Amino acid sequence: MLKKLPALFAGLLVALTAFAVSETELRNGHPDTYTVKRGDTLWDISARFLKKPWLWPEIWQANPQVENPHLIYPGDVLNLSYLNGNGGGARLSNGGPQVRRDPLDEAIQPINLKDIEPFLKNMRVVDEKTFKGLPYVVAVEEDKLRATSGNLAYVRGLDAQTGSTYVIVRPTNLYYSVEGKKDGDPPTTHVRPLDTRHGQNKMLWHHNPVKNLFGRNSSVLGYEVEVIGNAQVTRTGDPSSLLITYSDFEVRAGDLVMPVEDKPYDSHYLPHPPQNVPTSFEVLAFTDAVNAVGPKQVVALSRGSADGVENGHVFSVYHPGDRVTDQYKYPDGGARNFFNPHDSKVTLPAEFVGHVMIFRTFDRVSYGLVMDGLRPVKLNDVLTAPE
């Protein structure tokens, strides 16, 4: 007799080659039907049915006959159906096949955009060559120290036409990697603040102090910048004149100028496990004054799209085991400790912390949102395949 497998169904679709998860993957007490509500997230919906929300692609079956078939909208009804055999999938039931006409921005998001909005709209990470070649503000009108909306900024190195629009950005952090102390040691990742005067900026990351790394080779992971305003070219030349049309902070000499991004971020993706986990993948920084963060808080991570990291990837987070002294068998001051110092040291097991989902990637750095946790996420916690 074939095993009975569950699949999440919702009408609207023709029969397709199916996906399914075993009943053991279903959450205890899961509903048999659920009506999608405004404010739901895809993670929340998946967690209603699955113990592991990142397995959503295995239970969801998209319809190639409709535009954007992976999207779910408020009012859609999801029914859990059990099939005999290896078939099944998730289908939206809206009374029969039809062409979807709902606006994209009304679709259910993978995570709550309000939790990550500043990181989607205001933050960028660029490579070293791009960063060092960016046009920069050399002065503002009337030789003021700072300028705001309605003032002029004078920019060097900008090749643009009159009327072109740009964003003004301010460097915030340098992310970099340093080779291990000894051959075979993994590289370590670090953060160096680039704008210590930006005290009003809530986007400043909390990170470990910069260490003395003299004599060890390092490589740049990326320069992080924050968008602080918009400007329009009123006169070309070197310097060019730009009229500040909007600013969150006062513009000053040393701020940089970048093109406006047509589509700065992707808000439609599915939670899913990675095929591979990059080596030395760890928490670089987070936006909090304390030493740890919990669910719905953002972390900067030490790997990006060049390492295979993509939006929707879900990772487990582990706190590396601390190195301690066995005081029971090797007490301080004892002969055993004196003659066997290495034997007295014990590395504790790594402890599971929680899960992080990637929501924005750059070349060698990414941003993730802490989705859940048994313990607070700390700096240098390690990311692994989801469990």
Give the tens place of pLDDT for each residue, 81-102: 665 444 444 333 333 344 555 6
**Percent with pLDDT over 70 in the chain:** 75
| Of residues 126 and 81, more confidently modeled | 126
Write out pLDDT tens, residues 330-376. 677 566 665 666 677 788 999 999 999 999 999 999 999 999 999 99
3 state SS of 110: coil
Confidence of residue 2 (pLDDT cuts 50, 70, 90): very low
The full length of the chain comes to 387
| Of residues 265 and 359, more confidently modeled | 359
Confidence of residue 235 (pLDDT cuts 50, 70, 90): very high
pLDDT mean over 300-308: 97
CA distance 282 to 295: 17
pLDDT above 50 for 138: yes
pLDDT at residue 266, rounded to an integer: 85
CATH of 283-384, one of 2.60.40, 2.30.29, 2.40.10, 1.20.1070: 2.40.10
Write out pLDDT tens, residues 105-116. 788 899 999 889
Tell me the range of 100-114, 171-185, 372-386 where mean pLDDT is highest: 372-386
- Beta bridge pairs of residue 246: 230
pLDDT mean over 166-178: 94
| Of residues 83 and 312, more confidently modeled | 312
Domain ranges of the chain: 4-108, 119-259, 283-384
pLDDT at residue 268, rounded to an integer: 85
pLDDT at residue 144, rounded to an integer: 83
Give the CA count within 13 Å in the CB-facing half-sphere of 213. 20
Write out pLDDT tens, residues 28-71. 888 888 889 999 999 999 999 889 999 988 877 554 545 566 78
Residue with the two structure tokens 């670090």 = 190
CA distance 55 to 322: 32
Q: What is the pTM of this model?
A: 0.84
**Percent with pLDDT over 90 in the chain:** 50
Q: Residue 13: which residues within 8 A CB-CB, separation 6 or more?
A: 61, 63, 65, 66, 69, 91, 92, 97
| Of residues 269 and 217, more confidently modeled | 269
With beta carbons less than 8 A apart as the criterion, state whether 213 and 192 touch: no
Confidence of residue 199 (pLDDT cuts 50, 70, 90): very low
- Beta bridge pairs of residue 233: 242
- Beta bridge pairs of residue 82: 6
Please state which of the ranges 51-55, 247-251, 262-266, 308-312 shows the lowest mean pLDDT. 262-266
pLDDT above 90 for 169: yes
pLDDT above 80 for 195: no
pLDDT mean over 234-243: 97
- Beta bridge pairs of residue 11: none
pLDDT at residue 207, rounded to an integer: 59
* Strand ranges in 181-340 using DSSP code E only, listed in sequence order: 188-193, 218-235, 240-247, 251-252, 256-259, 283-286, 292-293, 298-301, 314-319, 323-325
